[in-house]
Amino acid sequence: MINTTTKEAFSIREFCARYSICRDSFYREVRRGRLRALKLGKKTIVLRDDADAWAASLPALSLAVPVGDVQ
């Protein structure tokens, strides 16, 4: 298991493991401009601040039943 608690930057693999998302979701978030990724030579990295900002920007899960849908 990769320890990501003290790192300042994450590889794609580390980022995906930390947030339990697949590589396709990672690249989708980058393409849509919701996640900032940087190139370091051939390696793609995500800075901790960018990862934290992305996670904080995710919408909260709402399980409220819309009015009129009560069964």
Show the beta-strand stretches assigned E in 1-71.
9-11, 38-40, 43-47
Q: Convert the pLDDT of each residue in 23-66 to its tens digit.
A: 999 999 999 999 999 999 999 999 999 999 999 999 998 887 77
Measured between alpha carbons, how far is 43 from 1 in angstroms, rounded to an integer? 20
**Reported pTM:** 0.79
The answer on pLDDT for 5 being more than 70 is no
Token readout for 44 is 């793609």
Q: Is 59 helix (H, G, I), strand (E, B) or coil?
A: coil
Instruction: Please indicate, yes or no, if residue 64 is contained in any of the structural domains.
Output: no
* Residue span of the structural domain in which 31 resides: 9-57
Instruction: Please indicate, yes or no, if residue 63 is contained in any of the structural domains.
Output: no
Order of strands across the sheet with 38-40? 9-11, 43-47, 38-40
Instruction: Please indicate, yes or no, if residue 31 is contained in any of the structural domains.
Output: yes
